[in-house]
């Protein structure tokens, strides 16, 4: 074994021990039980939470304090108002111009927050339309925010010639929530709820839950030059590690499940604008006859947000045509299914996150809870298919 490999192995062992200690402390503190992660919040739910905290008349009973903290952090200095009179709306309809995720009306100026925590694509001229709404309603400067996990910019077609500010859950929202938490020490329920939501955001954005654990890992990594080199070598290969685990553990395990249930598996994976795309399609004669497949698909960058369900399975050029045509089996599934997407007739999220816990679970597929969960979903979809066939 080369010295470089020994250094990496040694560092991994030390960090593994730190992680084990931290996992044990999580169990004792109860932090592993997080209601926000259990509920698997979607974009609208996050907007509701943020709007509830920003509302001066919200049930948090902190008046306009949280709103002031938000404005102090993200608006230019000198912006003044009687913030207690501001009105906060979620999913605010503005007619032909669309629907705003979070809208704050402060009489002489307005604030619009477009929330993209689930990395949904931009609608055509989305920020352009919101900017038009603000300029029409207010004579003074108003503020348009584009909120994503990591502070990405909006697409050119959605924001051309529009002045807006990017915000991130990872840094901006998390720091604002920390300030809200500091101001809530007198209310244990509110403080605990904010703690859980902050931990959920750290999970969503791929951060360690504990600053203390992070500090221990960093201190270990910089103890000597060999540890520093090993740490950078590991960091440079994290995405490759994820792909290898999916390719060598997840895909073969799904192949076995397909064979077990008399299905055929087809895997699509390629690099795209947001990382590596993976789709696993399972089919049989009945599915092919009706131009659908049982599908497991990652819908987020770096193998995030694993969805499952029934997907239209034809050439891209025929997709919309097939989706619209009458088919009793597909129509039955649509009625009882959960989907708003054009190429799915039934879909639901299996895993919001696909971080270290899920990837580590897959290394031993025969013991993996994830593989067991996937099989349950396959059985459920097969049962649904059989019921649909019988009408």
* Domain boundaries along the sequence of the chain: 3-31+210-235, 35-204, 239-390
Chain segment 6-39, per-residue pLDDT in tens: 777 887 787 777 777 766 766 666 655 566 565 5
Angle at which helices 174-182 and 188-204 pack, to 10 degrees? 160
pLDDT number for residue 206: 74
Taking alpha carbons only, the member of 86, 54, 79, 260 closest to residue 177 is 54
* Amino acid 377: pLDDT: 93
**pLDDT (tens digit, 9 = 90+) per residue, 181-196?**
999 999 989 988 898 8
Per-residue pLDDT, 301: 66
More confident residue, 371 or 202: 371
Region of 275 (left: φ > 0; alpha: ψ -120 to 50; beta: rest) is left
**Pairs from 379-383 (Cβ < 8 Å, separation ≥ 24):** 379/261, 381/294, 381/308, 381/309, 381/310, 381/346, 382/261, 382/294
Check: CB of residue 117 under 8 Å from CB of residue 201.
no
Q: What is the mean pLDDT of residues 105-119?
A: 87
Residue 34 has a pLDDT of 60
What's the mean pLDDT when you consider all of the chain? Answer: 84
Q: What are the φ/ψ torsions at residue 145 (nearest 5 degrees)?
A: -115, 140
% of the chain residues with pLDDT over 90: 35
The mean pLDDT of 137-148, rounded to a whole number, is 90
User: Which pLDDT score is estimated for 114?
Assistant: 94
Mean pLDDT of 261-275: 78
Residue 104: the pLDDT is 95
pLDDT at 296 over 80: yes
Q: Where is mean pLDDT largest: 118-127, 297-306, 363-372?
A: 363-372
Contacts 24+ apart (CB under 8 A), 20-25: 22/209, 22/210, 22/212, 22/213, 25/210
* pLDDT > 70 in the chain, percent: 85
Q: Tokens for 179, please give them.
A: 């300030």
User: pLDDT band for position 259 (50/70/90)?
Assistant: very high
* Cα–Cα nearest to 137, from 165, 158, 106, 114: 106
Token pair recorded at residue 114:
């477009």
Helix H or strand E segment including 116: strand 110-116
Whether 391 and 332 have beta carbons less than 8 Å apart is answered as: yes
Q: Could you tell me the pLDDT band of residue 321, with boundaries at 50, 70 and 90?
A: confident
Query: Contact 10/230 with Cβ under 8 angstroms?
Result: yes
Most confident listed range (142-146, 269-273, 286-290): 142-146
Q: What are phi and psi of 313, to 5 degrees?
A: -130, 80
């Amino acid at each position: 074994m080369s010295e470089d490999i020994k250094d990496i192995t040694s560092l991994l062992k030390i960090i593994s021990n730190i992680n084990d200690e931290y996992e044990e402390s999580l169990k004792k503190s109860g932090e592993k039980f997080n209601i926000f992660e259990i509920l698997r919040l979607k974009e609208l739910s996050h907007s509701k939470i943020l709007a509830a905290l920003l509302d001066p008349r919200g049930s948090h009973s902190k008046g306009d304090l949280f709103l002031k903290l938000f404005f102090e952090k993200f608006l230019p200095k000198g912006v003044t108002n009687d913030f207690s009179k501001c009105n906060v709306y979620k999913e605010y309809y503005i007619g032909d111009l669309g629907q705003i995720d979070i809208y704050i009306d402060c009489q002489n100026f307005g604030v619009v927050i477009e929330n993209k925590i689930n990395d949904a694509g931009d609608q055509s001229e989305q920020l352009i339309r919101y900017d038009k709404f603000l300029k029409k309603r207010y004579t003074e400067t108003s503020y348009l925010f584009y909120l994503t996990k990591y502070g990405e910019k909006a697409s050119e077609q959605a924001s051309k010639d529009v002045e807006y500010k990017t915000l991130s859950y990872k840094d901006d929202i998390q720091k604002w929530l920390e300030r809200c938490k500091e101001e809530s020490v007198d209310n244990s329920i509110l403080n605990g709820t904010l703690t859980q939501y902050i931990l959920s955001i750290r999970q969503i954005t791929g951060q360690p839950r504990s600053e203390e654990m992070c500090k221990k890992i960093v201190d270990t990594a910089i103890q000597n030059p060999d540890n520093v080199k090993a740490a950078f070598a590991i960091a440079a290969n994290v995405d490759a590690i994820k792909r290898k685990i999916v390719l060598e553990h997840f895909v073969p395990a799904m192949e076995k499940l397909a064979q077990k249930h008399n299905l055929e598996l087809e895997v699509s994976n390629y690099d795209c604008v947001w990382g590596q795309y993976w789709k696993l399609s399972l089919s049989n004669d009945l599915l092919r006859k009706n131009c659908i497949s049982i599908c497991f698909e990652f819908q987020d960058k770096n193998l995030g947000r694993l969805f499952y369900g029934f997907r239209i399975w034809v050439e891209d050029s025929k997709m919309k045509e097939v989706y619209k045509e009458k088919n009793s089996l597909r129509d039955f599934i649509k009625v009882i299914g959960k989907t708003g997407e054009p190429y799915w007739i039934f879909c639901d999220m299996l895993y919001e996150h696909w971080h270290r816990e899920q990837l580590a679970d897959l290394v031993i597929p025969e013991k993996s809870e994830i593989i067991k969960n996937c099989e349950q979903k396959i059985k459920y979809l097969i049962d649904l298919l059989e019921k649909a066939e019988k009408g």
